[in-house]
Amino acid sequence: MNITPNTICLKKENPLAVGPYDLSPYYMEHKVLQAEAMKAAKARILEVAEEFEKISGRRYGLFEEYMMEDAQLALVLMGSSAGTAKAAVDKLRENGVKAGLIKVRVFRPFPAEELARALANTKAAAVMDKSEGFSGCGGPLFAETRSALYDLKDRPYLINIVFGLGGRDIRVEDFEKVFGRLADITETGEIGPLYVHMGQRSKEGTV
């Protein structure tokens, strides 16, 4: 039997649609309801986190702050790479560098106001995207973070570094290089390339 997509999905005896389906007369209203639910989700997430803390003793918020109390240079990132980045922060702190990081846990709804407050007193920050957004302007975490900081009166310098695509490793030394670039930016006021890739074979270690 010659099996084709038409044979499986579009035969008249058993027509079917794959995925959610909404009718155009009510599509706008349904999307507004979804948007309002997303706005309310932030409070619900925090409520669940509070209950989980009572059960487990572990505290999870919208994001985790590490050494951010007096940080002047910061990273914003997601996922397991934050553990490696923390090791870099620890090394830099031993040398007197006021480094810190924020590990974003909740991407939708995006914690824009909270993140802006956490970064308000930093001088420069690098948003580390483990995803290529194909916008030509940076990764998705960078786009959201940059928007979140827009209304700050005194915004930190902000750059975007895309790394780790396809599971490529990143080392403590790589994060130290990123902090080194942030230090240079604060000293010179020159940002340089706003959006770069780090770790590709053609330009290994470029930040």
Decide if 70 contacts 123 (C-beta within 8 A): no
Give CA–CA dist 198/141, Å, rounded.
Answer: 16
Cis peptide before 193 (omega within 30 of 0): no
What are 140-149's pLDDT values in tens digits?
A: 999 999 999 9
Looking at residue 156, the DSSP 8-state letter turns out to be P
Give CA–CA dist 111/62, Å, rounded.
Answer: 7
CA contacts within 13 A on the Cβ side of 162: 19
Q: What is the mean pLDDT of residues 87-94?
A: 98
| pLDDT band at residue 22 using 50, 70 and 90 as cut-offs | confident
Give pLDDT, residue 207.
Answer: 79
| pLDDT band at residue 6 using 50, 70 and 90 as cut-offs | very low
Segment (H or E) for 56: helix 24-56
Give pLDDT, residue 2.
Answer: 53
63-203: CATH topology is Rossmann fold (3.40.50)
Q: How many residues does the chain have?
A: 207
Give pLDDT, residue 70.
Answer: 98
Q: Among residues 122, 80, 119, 118, which one has the least CA distance to residue 97? A: 122
Q: What is the mean pLDDT of residues 89-102?
A: 98
Domain positions in the chain are 20-60, 63-203
CA–CA distance from 21 to each of 16, 30, 77 (Å)? Answer: 11, 11, 34
